[in-house]
Structure 1
Amino acid sequence: MARTVIIGIDHSVYSEQAFDFYIEHAMLKGDKIVLVHVSEYTSLVQAPALLTDPVVVSDLIKEEEMKVKQLVDKYSEKMKKHHLGGKVKQMAGKSGEAIIAAAKEEEAGLIVVGTRGMSKLRRTFVGSVSDYVLHHSDVPVLICRSSQHS
């Protein structure tokens, strides 16, 4: 039976490793992929110094849009290579909340995310997208730990 799989992507090696792990170990024939990228625009406009110069804000937004396009192109090629159907969903807000919202909207059967392998203390202070997704998801979550983690 076909299922919808949400895969959280960003510019990190961790999300790429999670995508690759899904391909190698969890992909089922007929899976529909929804790649979810959460925009960093919110953090750009929250910096007080930037708010005073609209040109700087505009340039930063254009730069982010270019990076997102490159990211989408990269994952689109990976999907074509593996004959996967699906789409990219660009969202704004907090990453964990956006991934959960996308999973509900798309009626996902699985969520795949990468993790940096942060210590418990660091997760407590800065938060963890994978922790948030794991604790708020109504569907199975595949958290792929980085192969670079020691």
Structure 2
Amino acid sequence: MGGLVVVGVDGSASGLAAVEEAAREARWRGATLRVVHAFIWDRMHVPLGPPSYGPPGGGLRNAAARLLAEAVERAAATAPEVEVVSAVVSGEPLTVLGTESRGAELVVVGSRGMGGFVGLLVGSTAVHLAAHGRCPVLVVRERSHSGGPVLVGVDGSPASEAAVDFAFAEAALRGTGVLALHAYTPWNAPLPPPQDPSMPYANPPGALTEAEERLLAEALAGRRATYPGVPVEHEVVRADTRKALIEASGSAQILVVGARGRGGFKGLLLGSVSQAMLHHADCPVAVVRKSGAGV
């Protein structure tokens, strides 16, 4: 407790939804909420103050102060007991929020900002932070769910292990349960070793399913003891991981995924599953990198 939750704001509807979610996260964690607006205009060599022919409250700098004040007011209305600090920070959003993530336990952003293309489901800032942030990144759409479990995608990778830890901690904070979902197909699951070494490709029926169920059980081992008050459901499905998680996200408060799963290319910072969740999940998405991962 006593940490820092950072939220980036730009005046967009999803940015204000992110402020509300960040305020709740700060309340649950007993953390301070830091509301940040990245101000790029002082590097563009354009006038920042009010024009001589316009109202005294005009100009880019005053506009930034107003949107920051609106965000702080929204945070205070959502969680009055949370300490809120704010700052206009010079720089472009990707760099500013990446730097802010170094001292935070969670960074929250809207899925699409003011500069996004019409119809784009998630913007470049959210994707970049999910890949490069130094702490978990929570991406929020304009709509969110108040009920349901914390859904976590599990595949046995190091990032998935970190995601499971985050999901259980988040469920404890929210007073809800965890739904741990592992989806596999014969194409993305390693074959278990054959029981008969003389027949290297022979496995009894159901061996692959049993191996994947064992993977999920091992990934959850110990968490029930650490979080005895968190109800846990687990599900192993033979299906495309992206489709399974998107479908399950419709009844979840939040979806937690690792930044890169066991099937990702080495060196890739953000895998195809986590990217698909950012674009298509029906609830806020938290992307968690493995412990110690940095850029």
TM-score (norm 1): 0.70
2:288 corresponds, among 135, 144, 147, to 144
Aligned equivalents of 1:140, 1:76: Cα separation in 2: 26
Asked whether the 8 Å contact 2:154–2:160 carries over to 1, the reply is yes
Task: Assess, with a 3 A threshold, how the Cα gap between structure 1 residues 145 and 123 changes in structure 2: closer, same or farther.
Answer: closer
Look up the match of 2:18.
none
Look up the match of 1:72.
217
4+ runs of 1 displaced by more than 4 Å? none
AA in 1 matched with 2:175: G
* Identical columns (%): 27
Q: CA deviation at 1:12?
A: 0.8
Task: Assess, with a 3 A threshold, how the Cα gap between structure 1 residues 69 and 14 changes in structure 2: closer, same or farther.
Answer: same
Look up the match of 2:275.
131
Look up the match of 2:226.
81
Task: Assess, with a 3 A threshold, how the Cα gap between structure 1 residues 60 and 132 changes in structure 2: closer, same or farther.
Answer: farther
Asked whether the 8 Å contact 1:31–1:85 carries over to 2, the reply is yes
TM-score (norm 2): 0.39
Q: CA deviation at 1:73?
A: 4.4
Asked whether the 8 Å contact 1:6–1:36 carries over to 2, the reply is yes
SS of residue in 2 equivalent to 1:22: helix
Are 1:94 and 2:244 counterparts?
A: no
Aligned equivalents of 1:140, 1:128: Cα separation in 2: 17
Task: Assess, with a 3 A threshold, how the Cα gap between structure 1 residues 79 and 2 changes in structure 2: closer, same or farther.
Answer: farther
| Greater relative CO, 1 or 2 (CA 8 Å, sep 6+) | 1
Q: CA deviation at 1:17?
A: 0.6
Aligned equivalents of 1:143, 1:5: Cα separation in 2: 13
SS of residue in 2 equivalent to 1:72: helix
Residues 72-92 of structure 1: CA deviation (Å, up to 9, x unaligned): 144153134302102111122
SS of residue in 1 equivalent to 2:166: helix
Task: Assess, with a 3 A threshold, how the Cα gap between structure 1 residues 43 and 144 changes in structure 2: closer, same or farther.
Answer: closer
1:35 corresponds, among 180, 189, 193, to 180
Task: Assess, with a 3 A threshold, how the Cα gap between structure 1 residues 143 and 58 changes in structure 2: closer, same or farther.
Answer: same
Aligned equivalents of 1:63, 1:91: Cα separation in 2: 12
**Bigger helix share:** 1
Whichever of the two has the greater Rg, that structure is 2
Aligned equivalents of 2:168, 2:257: Cα separation in 1: 13
SS of residue in 1 equivalent to 2:282: coil
Are 1:16 and 2:161 counterparts?
A: yes
Q: CA deviation at 1:37?
A: 0.2
Asked whether the 8 Å contact 1:36–1:99 carries over to 2, the reply is yes
Task: Assess, with a 3 A threshold, how the Cα gap between structure 1 residues 75 and 67 changes in structure 2: closer, same or farther.
Answer: same
Aligned equivalents of 1:5, 1:82: Cα separation in 2: 14
Asked whether the 8 Å contact 2:160–2:258 carries over to 1, the reply is yes
Asked whether the 8 Å contact 2:172–2:227 carries over to 1, the reply is no
Aligned equivalents of 1:2, 1:137: Cα separation in 2: 16
Aligned equivalents of 1:10, 1:56: Cα separation in 2: 23
Asked whether the 8 Å contact 1:2–1:30 carries over to 2, the reply is no
Task: Assess, with a 3 A threshold, how the Cα gap between structure 1 residues 58 and 113 changes in structure 2: closer, same or farther.
Answer: same
User: RMSD value over aligned CA atoms?
Assistant: 3.5
Asked whether the 8 Å contact 2:154–2:219 carries over to 1, the reply is no
